[in-house]
Amino acid sequence: MDVATAKLKYYNAQLDKELSKYPHALKAEQVTNVPKTYLASGAASIVFLLIFFNFWGQLLSNLLAWGYPAYASFKAIESIDKADDTQWLTYWLALPQFKGAQIVYGRFLRPFLLTYQSDVDQATSKLKKKIDHAANTVLHAGVDAASALKDD
């Protein structure tokens, strides 16, 4: 039992150290006189129970799985550092766990796209021109048909 207590104290100290980096956690601890580790553990337990018993489960799951990454992506885009931009951009594409997306992006996607970037740009430009031409053809045909109906 002493080993379990020692581990619990160790993890509690680690969590306290991490939570000390956040001003909101420090303020909540001062206002409530409850240790911030207890507040964080309690909040996490409540969220877990609400999701587990499916009371607001969909809302909470969406906030955790979509809302936070969306906000973190926004913050990354607005920051100066490019590394976080890459992580959050690739998060939305594939392999968000364990930063596997960086591996896929760095080893496969980026080298491939850098090699064939001009080809992709040319193909995109050609496709855009074809779409514009088709849209203009349809538009002119519609105008001609409307004017023919008007003349009748």
Question: pLDDT, tens digit, for every residue of 135-145?
Answer: 777 777 766 77
The single-letter code of the amino acid at 132 is D
How large is the angle between the packed helices 23-32 and 36-52, nearest 10 degrees? 100
> Same domain, yes or no, for 103 and 151?
yes
Tell me, yes or no, whether 22 and 44 share the same domain.
yes
pLDDT of residue 70: 74
Task: Convert the pLDDT of each residue in 54-72 to its tens digit.
Answer: 888 788 787 777 777 777 7
DSSP state at residue 132 = H
Average pLDDT over every residue of 17-36:
90
Residues 109 and 150 in one domain: yes
Residues 7 and 48 in one domain: yes
* Mean pLDDT confidence for 105-109: 72
* Whole-number Cα distances in Å, 29 to 37, 115, 147: 9, 53, 75
Residues sharing a CB contact under 8 Å with residue 101, sequence separation 6 or more, in sequence order: 87, 90, 91, 93, 94, 95
- 24 and 50 belong to one structural domain: yes
Residue-range definition of the domain harbouring residue 21: 1-55
Looking at residues 89-95, what average pLDDT do you find? 65
| Cα–Cα separations (whole angstroms), residue 13 to 9, 31, 46, 61 | 6, 20, 21, 28
Q: Is 51's pLDDT higher than 60?
A: yes
Instruction: Tell me: do 81 and 127 sit in the same domain.
Output: no
Q: Are residues 1 and 51 in the same domain?
A: yes
Domain count across the chain: 3
Residue labelled with tokens 């409850």? 34
> What was the pLDDT predicted at 36?
92
Same domain, 69 and 105: no
Contacts of 4 (CB under 8 A, 6+ apart): none
pLDDT at 110 over 80: no
Residues 17 and 50 in one domain: yes
- State the pLDDT confidence band at 126, using cuts at 50, 70 and 90: confident
The predicted pLDDT at position 1 comes to: 64
